[in-house]
Each structure stands twice: as structure tokens, then as C-alpha cells.
Amino acid sequence: MGSSHISIHNKAFKPYLSAAQLDEAVRRLAARLSADYAGREPLFVVVLTGAFMFASDLLKYISGPCEIVFIRVASYEGTGSTGTVQEILGLREDVQDRHIIIVEDIVDTGTTMHHLLPTLQANGPASVEIATLFFKPESLQHELSLRYVALEIPNDFVVGYGLDYDGLGRNLPDVYVAV
């Protein structure tokens, strides 16, 4: 990870987490999920677009059979949550009696999960859990059960490793924090 600041849309960011640190956290989380879901063939529901890099790495480290599907929702504009969720692409798979693991890039306010969980639970899954790369406990506005958190971070704005600032920064292998 470079030691230099970067600029996205005229906003300055400094290095926060290296690709190696992210990989270590993702591997630890994958090991926990693999152990907890051994023999169950879970359905991983990946929330696009932000979780694509995290999901790609996480799922490479999952041992045992699983299914992977993608949904797309949005509750962000610029550097803050809009507080509303727009479902863009919905889940088409039958989730009845399935073990569902929602793969999310970041849980901050909890708005996205607050919207998705009742929708998924209404279709009769055996279980629904959330696996998130980042969790910002200081920002949480909805009660959520988070058993699978790779990293807890403060309420700072971060970009990189799939997370963007108005469309830019997703491709960065490291994570940067706004200064």
C-alpha cells in the first residue's frame, strides 16, 4: 500500500488498509463461514455493486459446495446514505428452506439490511445471516444481528476494494479513508 494520499472528485483520502490486511480479514471470515456451514450448501446473496471485490475473494476461500447469486440495491449518494433503498435487481432463486448468507461490503446505518431481511425471511429460508467486510457500529440505526463481520471500523468515509465515491475508487486494491 502506498503511503501517499489520493484525490477522488477533489476529496483527499489517505491509506487505511492494505490489500494484505484485507486478504487476511477475508480469509478469517471465510474460514468461519466454511466451518459454520459445512454440509449445508448455503446460498450466498451478494449485494452489488460495492461487495463485488469482497465477495469474489471471500467465495474463493469458502470450502464446500455453495450457490452464489447477485442482487443490486442502492442507498448511497455521494458520501452519505440517502436513507432509502431502491431495489434494482431482485432475487429470483427459491430461498425456501435454504441457508442464506447476504454478502455486503459495509453495514453502517443498516438501512439496506433492514430492507432486505424481511423480504428474504418472508420466503421461508432455513436461516438468514449477514457477512460484511466492514461494520460501522457508531452509524447503526437499525437493530441487526451481525455474526460475520470481517472488520469493525469507525464512522469514517472509505473508498477502495469495491467501495466508491460517486462511482470512482472501486478498483483500488487498498482501502483509503477521507481526510
Go through the domains of the chain in sequence order and give each one's CATH number: 12-76+83-178 (3.40.50.2020)
Catalytic residue among 57, 94, 97, 108: 108
pLDDT average, residue stretch 4-26: 97
Q: Positive or negative CA dihedral for 73, 68, 146, 96?
A: positive
Give the DSSP H/E element, type plus range, for residue 130: strand 127-135
Lowest-confidence segment of 83-87, 93-97, 174-178 by average pLDDT: 83-87
Instruction: Report pLDDT digits (tens) over 98-128.
Output: 999 999 999 999 988 988 898 889 899 999 9
Q: Whole-prediction pTM value?
A: 0.89
Say whether 108 is catalytic. yes
